[in-house]
């Protein structure tokens, strides 16, 4: 698994960064040249629960082709691009990782997830509906397969499991 690398230089002027404790008691970095303070914010990403069209008790999982957690299963999804809404990012990631086109059915929730690369990722979980395409893993996915809700491989990320649990609870209440 990769490790988070601390920033050493200011992204605005290239000056050296130093740590200080701000008025809230938070340890932050500040540029020794221009004085800019670096605020670390979570990176937004999507996590998609995609039920099988013919069976809502089966969900699509992808086997990860990249770190972190290469070779383990997760929900399809990924990082949002700067020029897209969370919903647009979800639809794009669905197509990239699974081969399916789709649409957002509803927001399942929002959750933070520790990340070795970015310290923290802000996950936006969506329930998706398949509208076309053919199943085929690509991009960051080695494979993609539907699994029963009650018999799927372990899910690599706690935040992804959280959204699966929300979906499973909603199915049980039907």
pLDDT higher than threshold 60 for residue 121:
yes
The CATH T-level fold of domain 43-172 is Nucleoside Triphosphate Pyrophosphohydrolase (3.90.79)
- Whole-angstrom CA distances from 153 to 17, 30, 55, 71 are 43, 44, 18, 11
Instruction: Confirm whether pTM is higher than 0.85.
Output: yes
pLDDT higher than threshold 80 for residue 3:
no
**Portion of the chain with pLDDT greater than 90, in percent:** 81
Per-residue model confidence as pLDDT tens digits over 18-55:
999 999 999 999 999 999 999 989 999 999 999 999 99
Q: Please tell me if the domain spanning 1-40 has the same topology as the one spanning 43-172.
A: no
Record the tokens describing residue 110, joined without a space: 């929002």
User: Are 118 and 80 in contact, with CB atoms under 8 Å apart?
Assistant: no
Distance CA 123, CA 163 (A): 10
Question: According to the model, what pLDDT value does residue 4 have?
Answer: 57
Record the tokens describing residue 88, joined without a space: 């647009």
Domain limits of the chain?
1-40, 43-172
Question: According to the model, what pLDDT value does residue 1 have?
Answer: 41
Distance CA 23, CA 90 (A): 38
CATH pick for 1-40 out of 1.10.1760, 2.20.70, 3.40.1700, 1.10.10: 2.20.70
């Amino acid at each position: 698994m990769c490790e988070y690398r601390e920033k050493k230089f200011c992204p605005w002027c290239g000056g050296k960064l130093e740590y200080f404790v701000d008025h809230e008691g938070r340890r932050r970095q500040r540029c020794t040249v221009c004085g800019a303070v670096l605020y670390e914010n979570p990176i937004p990403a999507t996590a998609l629960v995609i039920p099988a069209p013919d069976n809502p008790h089966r969900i699509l999982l992808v086997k990860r082709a990249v770190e972190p957690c290469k070779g383990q299963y997760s929900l399809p999804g990924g990082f949002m691009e700067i020029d897209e809404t969370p919903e647009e990012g979800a639809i794009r990631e669905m197509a990239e990782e699974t081969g399916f086109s789709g649409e957002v059915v509803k927001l399942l929730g929002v959750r933070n997830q520790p990340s070795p690369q970015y310290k923290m990722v802000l996950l936006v979980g969506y329930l998706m509906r398949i509208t076309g395409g053919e199943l085929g893993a690509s991009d960051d996915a080695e494979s993609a397969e539907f699994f029963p809700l009650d018999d799927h491989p372990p899910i690599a990320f706690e935040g992804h499991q959280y959204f699966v649990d929300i979906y499973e609870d909603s199915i049980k209440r039907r």
